[in-house]
Structure formats: C-alpha cells, structure tokens
Amino acid sequence: MSIFTCPLCSEKAYNNIISLAKHWTRTHKQLTEDLYLRLHNLNSVPVCACGCGESVKFLDAGRGYSEYVRGHQSRIQNNFQTEKSRNNSIATRRKMIEDGSFKPFHMKKTGEHWGKGLTKETDERIRKMAETVSLPEESVRRSTRLRQNRLSGVVRTLHKEEHSQWKGGISPLNHFCHANRRLYSDWKYPKMVAANFKCSICANAGKIEVHHNQETFSAILRKIAAEHGWEEKIATVFIAELTPELLSMKDAISAAVAEYHISNNVSGVVLCQGCHKAEHKRHNA
C-alpha cells in the first residue's frame, strides 16, 4: 500500500492521493495541481504529446495531466490523416474561403468578426492575448508556426487582388520595384547579413536599409523602364487608373530590376535610415 505525506506538513500520512488532495486544498488552501507538481517533481506543466508545444489540461490528483490537448490525438493516431487527405482538406477549406461559404473568425449568427469592437478593457480573451503576444517565447512560437503553415500551404500567402489591402497596383513604379520580393531576398538581405544587420557608418542596429553607393536605383529603374516602353512618371505619382497592360508592364519592370541587381551584383552598403537619408536628397533614390 502506498503512503502519501503532505509536502508542507509531513506529520500525517494518507493511504491514497485523494485524501491527501482534500487535506491540501482544505488546510493549505492551495490548488491540487500544485500538489501534483510537487509530488512528481515537475518544474512545469507537461506539453502535448503531438509535438505542438501547447500545455495539456490537468485532470485530477489521481490521473494527473492529459497526454494530449483536446483534439490533438488525432494528429498522430488517425489512419485517415494521410498526406493526400490533408491536401484535400486544405484545398476544400481554401475553396470555401474563396466562395464565401466559410469565413474564419466570423460568427455564424451575426456574420461579424468575433473580436469586432472588443478591447482588452472589455473582454477577457483580448486581454489575455495582449498580455501573451508580447512575450519573447510566444513571439517565437507564433512566428515558427506561421512560417511552417505558409511553407506547408496551410496558410496561403495572398498577393495582389487576393489581399484585403490591394488597391489595384496604383503605387508609383519606384515603390513597386523597391518592394520586389526577389530584390530583397537575393540582393538586400545577403548584404544585411554580411553587415551583421548594423549600419556601416554609425553601427546602429535599428531600421536598416541598403544604399546604392555607386549605380543609383533611380538610374537603373529609368533605364529598364525605358526599355519596356514605360511612359508614366516613375517615382512619386500614384496611378489613378491602372490598366491590365500597365500592371503587366509594372510586373515585368520590377522583375527586370531585381534580376539586374542580382546578376550584376550591384554595389550597395547597409545604412540606418538616418544615415541613408543623409546620402540622398530624396530617400531611396
């Protein structure tokens, strides 16, 4: 027969854990979960066995913690969870979102987003989210999960007209080309890594950018834009009406500008925003 003694007052022994738990909560006014952690020498709450990293639910003093977060057991103990079934499920959900039959985070009764009009002062869920989202470990967890979901296709990256903030591609050609993903990933980012993400002049590690210290960005852009027959103003004018032909031309120019930088290894140095502005009469010229 097992004998259980109270961690705080070992004067009395109990024949079972339930009796000890009653003593613990009534006499010491503490949670049964704290007693379980002490008796089993656990420093923290166990996490889900599926590998998601989420803390599992405490059941009682006798059973301890559940092995999985509710619903997560099917992730590894479900014969139907094959790669084909997951891909089909993702495709079905994506189709439902596109045709409007499923709206994530929207309530069925009202059709409104569940958090509309709520603040951390008025809603406990919002308050908890606000408190945890700024924690370093939570930021890393969310970033890692979102990256995995994007790479696997669970969360699809929205471009152009698919994105809620898309305004038809009316931004100036200069801004449009600066935002090219390949220009950043294959030309700007490697230079930032080489500079250890610090300004080459003042060593500031704040907001950094890549400065064209020899051939200017505007000269490259004007040359390539002219080759593609671009007649609109390049730098500062937002285009009120963008035809499909102009949008296609902008895409082609943006891709050509990125390719020019990468294939010619255009010279550039990493500067903070302040030092970069000091190098130009106009920022990002």
- Tracing tokens 């390949």 back to the chain, one arrives at 182
Handedness of CA 153, 154, 160, 162 (dihedral sign): positive
User: Which domain-ending residue is among 129, 157, 185?
Assistant: 157
Instruction: Indicate the range of 42-51, 84-93, 150-159, 188-197 predicted with least confidence.
Output: 150-159
Two tokens at 110? Answer: 């009202």
What is the CA 147 to chain-centroid distance, rounded?
A: 6
Instruction: Give CA–CA dist 259/239, Å, rounded.
Output: 24
Q: Please give the angle made by the CA atoms of 183, 165 and 158, to the nearest 5 degrees.
A: 60
Examine the domain organization and report whether 146 and 207 are in the same domain: no
User: 234 and 151 in one domain?
Assistant: no
Output b/e per residue, 111-132; b: 16+ Cβ within 10 A.
eeeeeeeeeeeeeeeeeeeeee
Same domain (yes/no): 127, 109: no
Q: Do 24 and 6 touch, CB atoms closer than 8 A?
A: yes
Mean of pLDDT over the chain: 84
Residue 132 falls inside a structural domain: yes
Are residues 262 and 238 part of one domain? yes
Q: Is residue 167 part of a domain?
A: no
Same structural domain for residues 192 and 204?
yes
Is residue 163 situated within a structural domain?
no
Instruction: Indicate the range of 10-24, 49-63, 189-203 predicted with least confidence.
Output: 10-24
pTM exceeds 0.75: no
Q: Do 8 and 19 share a domain, yes or no?
A: yes
The answer as to whether 168 is a domain residue is no
43 CB-side CA count, 13 A: 0
**Domain, as residue range, for 91:** 82-116
Same domain, 110 and 196: no
Claim to verify: residue 41 and residue 123 sit in the same structural domain? no
Q: What pLDDT does residue 80 have?
A: 60
For the ranges 10-19, 197-206, 268-277, the one whose mean pLDDT is highest: 268-277
pLDDT band of 81, cuts 50, 70, 90: low
Residues 237 and 272 in one domain: yes
> Rounded to whole angstroms, how far apart are CA atoms 285 and 281?
8
What is the Cα–Cα distance from 251 to 249, expressed in whole angstroms?
A: 5
Count the domains in the chain.
4
In a domain, 135, yes or no: yes
At 210, is the pLDDT very low, low, confident or very high (cuts 50, 70, 90)? very high
Same domain flag for 245 and 198: yes
Rounded distance, CA 178 to CA 193, Å?
19
